[in-house]
Chain A
Amino acid sequence: MSGIMLIALLAAAIGVGIVGGIRARAQRALRDGTKQHSRPLYHALNVAIWTGIPSFVFVLLWLVGENRVLDTMVLASYPGADSMSYAERSLVASEIRQGVAGNFFREPTEAILSAIERFKNLRAIASAAMLVIAASLAAIGAGLGLRAITPRFRARHSVERSVTIFMLFSSLVAILTTTGIIVSLVYESWQFFSKVPMTEFLFGLRWEPQIPLRDDQVAGHGAFGMIPVLFGTFAVSALAMAVAVPVGILSAIYLTEYSDHRFRAVVKPLLEILAGIPTIVYGFFAVLTVAPAVRTLGLSLGIPSAPNSALAAGAVMGVMLIPFISSLSDDAFAAVPRSIRDGSFALGATKGETIRKVLLPAALPGIVGGVLLALSRAIGETMIVVMAAGLIATMTVNPFQSVTTVTVQIVTLLIGDTEFDNPKTLAAFALGLVLFVITLGLNLIALRTVRKYREKY
């Protein structure tokens, strides 16, 4: 609730800034009677920006850092904290935080209770301090902004400069996001490779991500070799592409070359619906209907079949990708110049011959680019495989057996409470890094293929 109060407070401060700015400007205009550089609104906005933005940025930074600082402060006075490992410290910290929220999972010790008390005290002080500092920042900003109001003051320039800076920062968000993804994945993977050797991860043939609960446990250390997981990912993606590529390209051919406008206007949006359905819906559908049917089919053919088969997941994923491939091939066909088509017809080729011998080769780079983009989607697709593919990493070429994928492993390793210090959690980040690198590579190759081709005509 303090969040809403803060927002209200900031809004009020900005409102006061606007009103005050307009009034002050009007008074000075009366007194001086000279020509103004900027319209009143800009003076007011300038005051509002001075009032609101510094304290807003301050509050944001404070909130981001608050919990960390409080944890460190409370842990510093926790008995025996100096001798604890990182894992124990974070355990204690999370127990304290849960306790502050009123959740106890076990009888709290004396030390925990006093730490909770201390945390609450510190937090009360912290939020009071934050309010005071934010309010004084707003007041100082308002004061400075109001003082700046003179007839000659170029308020509009000042406001526009602030707006430009905001826009510049906004456009940097994309870079920040990419950096955030790379830094967090690399950092956590690096931690993972300090526990599990990189060669084992990259070339290991067994994937059994267990960790011993006790040191003397027989099950011992799990195996973290990603080859079988990667194999499963490509198996499912290959099945998906086997469905999506022919259906997608053939429907694009029909829609661009054969059908009349009315048919196209109705069918194309209907196909696009397939792309708009959330993947969790496909996943549930795969489990509910497709997987049992595939299993029955497999068993009736005498092939050993699992309840969750690679084929079920792949086929459903393929359907999801149909509109994707279809519309990208559509674009590729549309980009082939009319004259090439006409030339082929003039030589007496039928429509089918023109399509197969002239259009398809000319549009091929674009289609290949589209297929690569679709493949990258298939590899990164999560919910369908989480629900319909398996959990156990097996290397099998039988599509009726269950395989696991990179995304499935990421989700299953990270569902539930996670601590950032065991190889199981960190393995998910290493897999995430692999996934990111593969999809990034495919996307770049695909975009390059498409762009190169576009330059040709």
Chain B
Amino acid sequence: MGAGTAGAAFDWKSPAMETRRARRYAADRRLQWYGIIAIALALGFLIFLIGTLTYSGYKAFVQTKAVVEIDLAGKEIDPSNLMAANWRGILRGELRNLVDDLPRSQEKSFFDIFTSSSHFIVRNTVIADPSRLGRKSAFEIPLSDPLDQLSKGEIDRETPADRRRVDDDQIRIFDDLKAQDRIIRPFNWELFTSYDSRFPELAGLRGALSGSFWALLVCFLISFPVGIAAAIYLEEFAPRNRTTDFIEININNLAAVPSVVFGLLGLAVFLGWFGLPRSAPLVGGMVLSLMTLPTIIIVTRAALKSVPSSIREAALGVGASKHEAIFHHNLPLAMPTILTGTIIGLAQALGETAPLLLIGMNAFISADPGGVMQPSTALPTQIYIWADSPERGFVARTSAAILVLLGFLLVMNAAAILLRQRFEKRW
């Protein structure tokens, strides 16, 4: 290297320099490859996650049912009091006709093929359509979870009978019914229209969807006006002093407080001190609004800041008051950005689970909650409940519920992006 420092011609092409350069370039390429590998890992995980959930969840969007003709003519049913009839007995009698000479020993496994509340399903169908009373008509009866799994190919027929949850008789009868074209697999609308149940084949998301809707509504009604008002005050009116600094530190810090702590706050303050009802969407929405508030305040302040001051000055110049300038001009111009941020904040709130668990929004709801004060679940807490259930069928239901949740998030975020692209002004 002495030649270089002496100012004489330095041999950049010497073999030593070539290898050195090659090494340096290789190190550069290596770093690049590490980056590509890191990105590939992250994206690969994302694809794997969505893929696994889709693979394990798509089967819950169809439900195996048996089409059974039931002759209700001449049965002991009082048309004026449909609830009182012996539906269980009637149904069992009709089901027995499906197979020839069923031995008594096989009766239990035969009836276990159908969901255990099938007589309620028949009853409710008849109540909805009383004209079925005097004639023979077809009913669609969901099969119980093990048979549903069998029909979807989740249960391997080769496993020894004592290690699978369907016995040989059930498989034989199932194949028999299939040969008669009685087994159908329609789209599982019940996933959205029925309430939670202990039986996976009957469990649906309706209670969770309505609970989430009410909680998000409360969250929006509180956090949107309060968040915008707070942001306007801090951005446009507040004097710059210690107090406003303190408020700002508070807001930034609240955005980073763990969600479970908000749950503790809700439990101690809203339930413990205010005595609000446990499990109510009202309390859930209030807790979620406290979590969404920082997001909305930060977004609104940024949006207000981006409106050029010339607009306000023009308004003030023609005689508007400060309030008028802000509420008539700045705020409407900032609104698209604010709405975008609000939707994203609400999407986060929709997926929030821990605080809702702490205030008890994991109630078992098998009837319409219908309101903000009744015990209720929400979509993420329903996922948590189902994930904890031991029945095999709930794995698919959980994945399906997650897909529904992700679907809602996708729609909300897409709406936010669309809003931003269509209406946001760049100054």
Contacts and interface: CB of A to CB of B under 8 A. Distances in A.
Binding partners A and B: yes
Contact of A180 (B35, B269, B278): B269
A255 B39 CA distance: 9
Interface in A154-178: 156, 160, 163-164, 166-168, 170-175, 177-178
A38 to B, nearest CB: 10
A284 interface: yes
B418 interface: no
A284 B246 CA distance: 39
Given A1-B371, A171-B238, A383-B353, A319 B42 contact: yes
A377 to B, nearest CB: 8
A281 B351 CA distance: 9
Contacts of B30: 352
Nearest to B290: A177
Given A178-B254, A270-B46, A277-B406, A355 B260 contact: no
Contacts of A401: none
Interface stretch (A76-84, A216-224, A246-254): A246-254
B233 A281 contact: no
Interface in A309-367: 319, 322-323, 326, 350-353, 355-356
Chain B interface main SS type: helix
Chain A interface main SS type: helix
A178 B253 CA distance: 9
B133 interface: no
Interface string A392-436: 000000000000000100110011011010000000110010011
Contacts of B39: 251, 254-255, 267, 271
A436 B257 contact: yes
* A contact residues, range: 35 or more
A350 B25 contact: yes
A285 interface: yes
B230 A410 contact: no
A250 B250 contact: no
B256 A276 contact: no
A334 to B, nearest CB: 16
Interface in A6-22: none
A398 B49 CA distance: 26
Contacts, number: 258
A258 interface: yes
* B contact residues, range: 35 or more
B406 A253 contact: no
A34 interface: no
Contact of A278 (B234, B246, B261, B405): B405
A288 B230 CA distance: 43
Contact of B409 (A172, A276, A323, A386): A276
A380 B237 contact: no
A440 B255 CA distance: 11
A287 B388 CA distance: 10
A254 B32 contact: yes
Contacts of A166: 229
Contact of B380 (A188, A280, A420): A280
Interface stretch (A63-71, A104-112, A126-134): A63-71
A411 B264 CA distance: 9
A13 B64 CA distance: 55
A323 B237 CA distance: 36
Interface stretch (B120-128, B149-157, B193-201, B354-362): B354-362
Nearest to B49: A285
Contacts of A258: 32, 35
A255 B34 CA distance: 12
Contacts of A439: 256-258, 261
B251 A247 contact: no
Nearest to B354: A382
Contact of A174 (B27, B247, B264): B247
Contacts of B350: 278
Q: Which of A177, A287, A322 has the most CB of B within 10 A?
A: A177
A90 B42 CA distance: 51
B261 A436 contact: yes
Q: Which of B247, B264, B274 has the most CB of A within 10 A?
A: B264
Interface in A367-385: 373, 376-377, 379-383
Contacts of A171: 229-230, 233-234, 238, 247
A383 B31 contact: no
Q: Which of B56, B273, B352 has the most CB of A within 10 A?
A: B273
B321 A281 contact: no
Given A167-B232, A173-B293, A381-B258, A410 B347 contact: no
Name the 10 nearest CB pairs between A and B, nearest first: A254-B35, A380-B258, A278-B351, A352-B28, A67-B275, A184-B268, A167-B233, A250-B38, A170-B229, A382-B354
Interface of B: 24-25, 27-32, 34-39, 41-43, 45-46, 48-49, 52-53, 56, 225-227, 229-230, 232-234, 237-238, 246-247, 250-254, 256-265, 267-269, 272-276, 278, 290, 293-294, 297, 321, 323, 347-348, 350-354, 357-358, 360, 362, 371-373, 380, 383-384, 387, 395, 398-399, 402, 405-406, 409, 413
